[in-house]
Chains A and B, each alone.
Chain A
Amino acid sequence: MAAVQDGQMELDAEKETKPEILSDGTSNLSGNTASGTLSSSPLTAAPAGGAPKMEDQQTLIAVLQFLKRNKLTDSVEILRREAGLGEDQEDSQATDGSGGGKGDVDGGDANSLLSRVSITSAAAPQSMCDSPLMFMLSAAGADDQPDVSVVLSAYSQQGDPSLYQVYYSGLKNFIESVLDCHRAELSQLFYPLFVHMYLELVYNNHENEAKAFFEKFSGDQECYYQDDLRVLCGLTKKEHLKGNEVLLDFRTSRFVLRISRDSYQLLKRHLQERHNNQIWNIIQEHLYIDIFDGMPRSKSQIDSMSGSLAGEGKREVNKAKVFHGLLKEPEIEVPLDDEDDEAENEEGKPKKKKTKKDSLGSKSKKQDPNAPQQNRIPLPELKDSDKLDKIMYMKESTKRIRLGPENLPSICFYTFLNAYQGLTAVDFTDDSSLLAGGFADSTVRVWSVTPKKLRKVKSAADLNMIDKESDDVLERIMDEKTASESKILYGHSGPVYGVSFSPDRNYLLSSSEDGTVRLWSLLTFTCLVGYKGHNYPVWDTQFSPFGYYFVSGGHDRVARLWATDHYQPLRIFAGHLADVTCTRFHPNSNYVATGSTDRTIRLWDVLNGNCVRIFTGHKGPIHSLAFSPNGKFLASGSTDGRVLLWDIGHGLMIGELKGHTDTIYSLKFSRDGEILASGSMDNTVRLWNSMKAFDEVETDDFTATTGHIHLPDNSQELLLGTYHSKSTPVTHLHFTRRNLLLAAGAYNSQ
């Protein structure tokens, strides 16, 4: 469970930076301090307290013995030095405790001490589950699911199980009786409290009480938590708690609530008056209440932001500066005029091109204040072929159709026929010349959608024969005999869930259920590298817009940044509480967006691996992401059939597009960003007026600072068109350089 470890470390780091809002009781003070120092270097753990009490000392000795037994002599030395314990002291303690011979008994003693440690950890649950030291200890102690027992031990607090219903309904009555403006905010408490109380009951073997509790109150929860509740209702035994991933997510992360100061005061006063410690403890231990000053939010505001597995994102998280501007276009020499003439056969065209070129140049010369430094992350140098391609791109873009509500793109649908093995992923090259499909039978197939056929490079022996000085050497190396419209790439041993072409069209990436990402050459049509590291199904992968880098995300809950020439990942983006389902590069390649089954979207900085944005609001797993071409906005689509629009700079949700009735598997902005196309499992392509959606957002200072935005319900106005396919789910969308919309999907005969 490497993923969980990563998550733990990450959380731990977060905890350190975050100010403690609710101070814990005195009993866990020591634990707190311990965790503070330990986190830097787990193995040099030592309590910071000056004079350790007897119990602490015993704990320390137990740790020392444990380390000794595991032959970690260096650590033993360091720990001893730091704690100021003598060797004799330890020995005497050990003999005192055991009374008998060393060896086995020694170990037994250590175990008994360890159990005491867990008891204290129960008293200080937060520090325990966060503390890497404890984590390590129990990791060595328990064999299979190390972290779970520690995590769960937080529930070992005892309370009268029959009173849980009373507590909960007491709070419910209170919240229902407060003023309307506070009620909506305080209602957010229901769901996390409900879950935690239920789990406490289950953990403490009060099966019947738990069932009754669930039955009584599960109907009150918001409908978008239904999926989680369904998982929860199956859990009635303590044994089942182990290994349940959803549960683990709930425990390892604190549920984040945003509540206005007034509402919070109200709640606090109520709980203190009633001496309702049970609930107060849960709030302190398992919830993170993000208090803000100002107007309480309305129900609709709350609903638009909630729904994620761990509550909303904290406000601080979205405060970091994001350089969302585009990088400067590289200076490329103006294509020769006569060349143009040949290509175009049109008079006056070259002149036009030149002016166009100039305007492009001047535009790019003006440095966007939001753009990152050109060399913020090292990018590959442009090759000659890349420059040629850029020139082609510019030529094409002069012929681009300007889209708008009055001028919608034509749609070209590529239907995969006879795809009985199951089409799982599709990608087009940027110039729309090649089409790749990933299939559930582990194959990757590449088609040429232009009359130009796919050819392999000749064999090494044949390559020796050709004249390397000739001008058309690139043509000569190709083997005409291998020309065909499609090629099949064999290598994966599980369904291929993601495919991505490199920008120079020489490589293809594919990610599979077998836990690997493979890099294929489109010159030889062979596999070049298999990137191993995820060890679990890899749901998505994508090349950086500049090539060289690529990102992948999978079932292990992390996204990884790779470079094609490194067999190990360069960055690991950990933080999601569930599978990373889709990954997208920002157009300037400095950021990566990931969507997850935990119903959040995170934006990661490629430079330092930090999470710079957390977007919550989706009510289902996110299956598609798309950056606007100017890099300012992000669109995301999920299983609930909604598309949400995000302002990256401000970290705000700015739009909700309702209309689809099933999972949205593909999103794409037109080349100029005026139109957003969404493709869904409901066999439709919908076109949205994204320009209008972005323009209509009012971003005054208040909304910008609090992030509380009123979303206009204008999906119907923004919807420009709905186009039905013939029982073909839309798996992929792509705008050609001239703004023709290409869609792809497999015909579903059932």
Chain B
Amino acid sequence: MTEREERRFAEVPRESIKLMAESTGVELSEEVAALLAEDVCYRLREATQNSSQFMRHAKRRKLSVEDFNRALRWSNTETVCGYGAQDALPFRPLKEGELFFVEDREINLVELALATNIPKGCAETMVRVHVSYLDGKGNLEPQGTVPTAVQSLSEDLLKYYQQITRAILGEDPHLMKVALIDLQSNSKIAALLPYFVYVISGVKSVSHDLDQLNRLLHMVKSLVQNPYLYLGSYVRSLVSSVMYCILEPLAASINPLNDHWTLRDYAALLLSHIFWTHGDLVSGLYHQILLSLQKVLSDPVRPLCSHYGAVVGLHALGWKAVERVLYPHLPAYWANLQAVLDDYSVSNAQVKADGHKVYGAILVAVERLLKMKALSLTLAAEGSSAGLPAGCQWEEWTPVSLPAMYCELYSFFGDSLAVRFSTDPPLGGAPPPGPCQPLEGRKEPASSAPNLENTRKMPQLTASMNISPRQDGSPRMEPQPPSLAATVPGRSLSRSSSSSSVSRSRSSSSRPGRSTSQSRDIFPKSRFPLPQAGPPAFSFIIGGRQMGRRCLGRRFQTSFTPTPPLTTLPPRAYAHKLPVIGRVSKPVRRWTCSHYSLHLPL
């Protein structure tokens, strides 16, 4: 016991005592040194024990040199000088002489005195208040601090805040960059967070100024990336500001010269970043965002730029968001978009350009959806259903199998979708026919012949997502997600018409009648039976080409021959403004003919 106890204490060996005595020129005998050593140990121990009470009353856990000196002073002993530094003193051995010493570097006083980097005084001692609201059960209520409460910002912080906001919102791009970088890495700005969040919420008042919006979004990014900041419930406020930039028909977008699309793209990216890094801070945030995006998407009164925002927002939130919100809405939305795209009137030119933007965005979104879904399928046989976020009961929603989804999407986009896959490098892995085929078989129990043909003709869905466009196959079956069954009048019509038209375009010209009849078989429940029950009454062309223009998107031109049923489309907001029917433009046909092998005239 004693041994253990003694090992716990520092002991000064007699050799040390002798050495110390020698250094002052005194010769000590062994006996005296031993006695002295023991006494020194005891005195040290006593002084340490006495000094601990000063530590306790100073409400500290760490014994300081000052505590020790106080104990010495009260026991009428000279205090130890020169150890006031806060840093630990390294105790170093000297190899040659078995000597241990405290490293004590010499300080050049002259240098110190003439130094130009005068240390700044430490910040003013101050009091800050934080309120924890407890509910009846004693749980902390999730409420942010109240910035209006007694909360004093120190002078320095206030200055920092002013400088930063001025730099970010000012004209100098270099200054802004510096400010943003600092905002991203400064560890002492927690107190300013509410103020910055407030500044950012000012997006609503500068919606005419793309530059300012951009700067504010950059500010959001910096705050989100700052590892020292705990955003807490401020995340909600930040998200609402970002959502504003994504979804609102900003005043800046009135002028087509303003590139508000990029702003929306950036904001969407930011949204996904916030969500992935801070989404856990506010429960239910994900669903709230999805709901608001869905609301915008399903609102036809909203301008196309809002829709564009919703689509890129969903795209940014991941393929599952696309699958859950965009995909089910696509049939309904498609009619409107189609209408816009098919209007070639001059007055519609701008809207049409916007429409193409939306089209491109949707295409990009569904492309990723398909790829990711295929990937998840290859990773796990049941990936499509297992990968769902848990507890999403907000909408009746059942996963759609990949081939079915592909079929449906193919009916919208035609080869423009296929082409995107064919140009992709293979993802590797063998085609998984297992999960695909039975599904299709089940979906189409009516006839076996189409099934056979389907297996032959359908563009092959492989894990590598290589779809050969030459292998003519018409995706004829459309699995109907239950939620989609007859939701919007006119939707099924538009869809079926488009699908049939696509199928016709994809099918070889030698079998036109058959394909149409099949499409009729598949859609027996369509509320608007196809008027063209017999041979097709209209023809159209799909042409696609890469546009080298400003938007860098894909522009597809579709031309319809006017068909009577299409006029029965229920009037839409767009339809009012723009005639639904476009006109066949010969030059386009010629142009597409000349450039694209995909051009398949009926």
A and B bound? Answer: yes
Q: How far is the CA of A581 from the CA of B122 in the complex (A)?
A: 32
Instruction: Indicate whether B39 reaches chain A with its CB closer than 8 angstroms.
Output: yes
Query: Shortest distance in angstroms between B193's beta carbon and chain A's nearest beta carbon?
Result: 14
Please name all residues of chain B whose beta carbon is closer than 8 Å to the beta carbon of A579 when the two chains form the complex: 53
Sample 18 A-B pairs with CB under 8 A, ordered by A number: A214-B1, A216-B1, A219-B1, A234-B42, A236-B38, A237-B42, A406-B136, A411-B132, A413-B131, A417-B125, A445-B125, A494-B70, A497-B57, A555-B74, A639-B56, A662-B61, A721-B138, A750-B62
Interface residues of B, count at CB 8 A: 45
Instruction: Indicate whether B112 reaches chain A with its CB closer than 8 angstroms.
Output: no
Q: How far is the CA of A244 from the CA of B47 in the complex (A)?
A: 11
User: Nearest CB to that of B124 among chain A residues?
Assistant: A418
Instruction: Indicate whether A147 reaches chain B with its CB closer than 8 angstroms.
Output: no
Are B125 and A414 interface neighbours, CB within 8 A? no
- Looking at B3-11, B92-100, B173-181, the stretch in contact with chain A turns out to be B3-11
Are B49 and A417 interface neighbours, CB within 8 A? no
Instruction: Indicate whether B446 reaches chain A with its CB closer than 8 angstroms.
Output: no
Please name all residues of chain B whose beta carbon is closer than 8 Å to the beta carbon of A407 when the two chains form the complex: 136
Instruction: Indicate whether A663 reaches chain B with its CB closer than 8 angstroms.
Output: yes
Query: Shortest distance in angstroms between B397's beta carbon and chain A's nearest beta carbon?
Result: 40
Option from A233, A244, A486, A663 in Cβ contact (under 8 Å) with B5: A233
Q: How far is the CA of A597 from the CA of B58 in the complex (A)?
A: 15
User: Nearest CB to that of B143 among chain A residues?
Assistant: A410
Known: A234-B46, A240-B39, A414-B129. 16 other contacts (CB 8 A): A215-B1, A219-B1, A233-B5, A234-B42, A243-B75, A410-B134, A413-B132, A414-B128, A417-B128, A536-B74, A581-B57, A621-B53, A681-B59, A723-B132, A729-B59, A731-B59
Q: 1/0 per residue A413-443: CB within 8 Å of B?
A: 1111111111110000000000101011000
Q: Which of B32-66 contact A (CB under 8 A)?
A: 38-39, 41-42, 45-46, 49, 53-54, 56-62, 66
Query: Shortest distance in angstroms between A721's beta carbon and chain B's nearest beta carbon?
Result: 4
Instruction: Indicate whether A537 reaches chain B with its CB closer than 8 angstroms.
Output: yes
Instruction: Indicate whether A665 reaches chain B with its CB closer than 8 angstroms.
Output: yes
Query: Shortest distance in angstroms between A713's beta carbon and chain B's nearest beta carbon?
Result: 22
Of listed A412, A729, A750, residue having the most chain B CB within 10 A: A412
With A231-B49, A244-B46 as contacts: A415 and B128 at CB distance below 8 Å: yes
Are A513 and B125 interface neighbours, CB within 8 A? no
Query: Shortest distance in angstroms between B53's beta carbon and chain A's nearest beta carbon?
Result: 7
Are B74 and A215 interface neighbours, CB within 8 A? no
Instruction: Indicate whether B130 reaches chain A with its CB closer than 8 angstroms.
Output: yes
Please name all residues of chain B whose beta carbon is closer than 8 Å to the beta carbon of A214 when the two chains form the complex: 1-2
Option from A422, A437, A440, A597 in Cβ contact (under 8 Å) with B53: A597
Instruction: Indicate whether B140 reaches chain A with its CB closer than 8 angstroms.
Output: yes
Instruction: Indicate whether B552 reaches chain A with its CB closer than 8 angstroms.
Output: no
Are A413 and B134 interface neighbours, CB within 8 A? no
Are B130 and A440 interface neighbours, CB within 8 A? no
Are A513 and B130 interface neighbours, CB within 8 A? no
Are A539 and B46 interface neighbours, CB within 8 A? no
Q: How far is the CA of A145 from the CA of B454 in the complex (A)?
A: 110
With A536-B74, A720-B138 as contacts: A415 and B56 at CB distance below 8 Å: no
Instruction: Indicate whether A449 reaches chain B with its CB closer than 8 angstroms.
Output: yes
Please name all residues of chain B whose beta carbon is closer than 8 Å to the beta carbon of A486 when the two chains form the complex: 126-127
Are A421 and B125 interface neighbours, CB within 8 A? yes
Are A418 and B126 interface neighbours, CB within 8 A? yes
Q: Which of B73-128 contact A (CB under 8 A)?
A: 74-75, 122-128
Q: 1/0 per residue B125-158: CB within 8 Å of A?
A: 1111111111011101000000000101000000
Please name all residues of chain A whose beta carbon is closer than 8 Å to the beta carbon of B131 when the two chains form the complex: 410-413
Please name all residues of chain B whose beta carbon is closer than 8 Å to the beta carbon of A720 when the two chains form the complex: 138
Are B56 and A424 interface neighbours, CB within 8 A? no
Query: Shortest distance in angstroms between B192's beta carbon and chain A's nearest beta carbon?
Result: 13
Are A539 and B57 interface neighbours, CB within 8 A? yes
Please name all residues of chain B whose beta carbon is closer than 8 Å to the beta carbon of A485 when the two chains form the complex: 152
Are A234 and B134 interface neighbours, CB within 8 A? no
Are B59 and A423 interface neighbours, CB within 8 A? yes
Q: How far is the CA of A19 from the CA of B130 in the complex (A)?
A: 58
Please name all residues of chain A whose beta carbon is closer than 8 Å to the beta carbon of B134 when the two chains form the complex: 408-411, 721
Interface residues of A, count at CB 8 A: 74
Are B123 and A234 interface neighbours, CB within 8 A? no
Q: How far is the CA of A555 from the CA of B137 in the complex (A)?
A: 43
Q: Which residue numbers of B lie inside 8 Å of A, CB to CB?
A: 1-3, 5-6, 9, 38-39, 41-42, 45-46, 49, 53-54, 56-62, 66, 70, 74-75, 122-134, 136-138, 140, 150, 152
Of listed B5, B6, B74, B123, residue having the most chain A CB within 10 A: B5
Query: Shortest distance in angstroms between A582's beta carbon and chain B's nearest beta carbon?
Result: 10
With A234-B42, A413-B130, A416-B126 as contacts: A623 and B56 at CB distance below 8 Å: yes
Q: How far is the CA of A416 from the CA of B129 in the complex (A)?
A: 9
Q: How far is the CA of A236 from the CA of B45 in the complex (A)?
A: 12
User: Nearest CB to that of A405 among chain B residues?
Assistant: B138
Query: Shortest distance in angstroms between B54's beta carbon and chain A's nearest beta carbon?
Result: 7
Query: Shortest distance in angstroms between A434's beta carbon and chain B's nearest beta carbon?
Result: 11
Query: Shortest distance in angstroms between B516's beta carbon and chain A's nearest beta carbon?
Result: 70
Please name all residues of chain A whose beta carbon is closer than 8 Å to the beta carbon of B60 when the two chains form the complex: 422
Query: Shortest distance in angstroms between B476's beta carbon and chain A's nearest beta carbon?
Result: 63
Instruction: Indicate whether A495 reaches chain B with its CB closer than 8 angstroms.
Output: yes
With A411-B134, A412-B129 as contacts: A235 and B1 at CB distance below 8 Å: no
Are A424 and B57 interface neighbours, CB within 8 A? yes
Instruction: Indicate whether A224 reaches chain B with its CB closer than 8 angstroms.
Output: no
Q: 1/0 per residue A491-505: CB within 8 Å of B?
A: 000110100000000
Q: How far is the CA of A208 from the CA of B74 in the complex (A)?
A: 32
With A485-B152, A497-B57, A639-B56 as contacts: A416 and B127 at CB distance below 8 Å: yes
Query: Shortest distance in angstroms between A595's beta carbon and chain B's nearest beta carbon?
Result: 12
Please name all residues of chain B whose beta carbon is closer than 8 Å to the beta carbon of A445 when the two chains form the complex: 125
Are B57 and A418 interface neighbours, CB within 8 A? no
Are A449 and B2 interface neighbours, CB within 8 A? no
Q: 1/0 per residue A219-258: CB within 8 Å of B?
A: 1000000000111011111011001100000000000000
With A417-B125, A497-B57, A687-B138 as contacts: A211 and B38 at CB distance below 8 Å: no
Option from A233, A414, A494, A723 in Cβ contact (under 8 Å) with B127: A414
Query: Shortest distance in angstroms between A552's beta carbon and chain B's nearest beta carbon?
Result: 14
User: Nearest CB to that of A234 among chain B residues?
Assistant: B45
Q: How far is the CA of A476 from the CA of B137 in the complex (A)?
A: 48
Option from A413, A418, A424, A662 in Cβ contact (under 8 Å) with B58: A424
Q: Which of A589-608 contact B (CB under 8 A)?
A: 597
Q: How far is the CA of A404 from the CA of B127 in the complex (A)?
A: 29
Please name all residues of chain A whose beta carbon is closer than 8 Å to the beta carbon of B46 when the two chains form the complex: 234, 240, 244
Query: Shortest distance in angstroms between B27's beta carbon and chain A's nearest beta carbon?
Result: 24
Q: How far is the CA of A506 from the CA of B34 in the complex (A)?
A: 60
Of listed B57, B62, B150, residue having the most chain A CB within 10 A: B57
Q: How far is the CA of A330 from the CA of B59 in the complex (A)?
A: 39
Are A417 and B132 interface neighbours, CB within 8 A? no
With A539-B57, A687-B138 as contacts: A418 and B122 at CB distance below 8 Å: yes
Please name all residues of chain A whose beta carbon is closer than 8 Å to the beta carbon of B123 when the two chains form the complex: 417-418
With A406-B137, A537-B74 as contacts: A412 and B39 at CB distance below 8 Å: no
User: Nearest CB to that of B132 among chain A residues?
Assistant: A411
Q: How far is the CA of A597 from the CA of B50 in the complex (A)?
A: 12
With A412-B131, A445-B125 as contacts: A218 and B57 at CB distance below 8 Å: no
Instruction: Indicate whether A447 reaches chain B with its CB closer than 8 angstroms.
Output: yes
Are A412 and B130 interface neighbours, CB within 8 A? yes
Q: How far is the CA of A510 from the CA of B137 in the complex (A)?
A: 38
Q: How far is the CA of A240 from the CA of B136 in the complex (A)?
A: 58
Please name all residues of chain B whose beta carbon is closer than 8 Å to the beta carbon of A421 when the two chains form the complex: 125
Are A665 and B59 interface neighbours, CB within 8 A? yes
Please name all residues of chain A whose beta carbon is closer than 8 Å to the beta carbon of B62 when the two chains form the complex: 750
With A417-B123, A440-B58, A639-B56 as contacts: A233 and B128 at CB distance below 8 Å: no
Option from A237, A435, A495, A731 in Cβ contact (under 8 Å) with B39: A237
Q: How far is the CA of A723 from the CA of B139 in the complex (A)?
A: 9
Q: How far is the CA of A420 from the CA of B74 in the complex (A)?
A: 25
Q: How far is the CA of A723 from the CA of B123 in the complex (A)?
A: 28
Q: 1/0 per residue A448-460: CB within 8 Å of B?
A: 0111000000000
Q: How far is the CA of A681 from the CA of B58 in the complex (A)?
A: 11
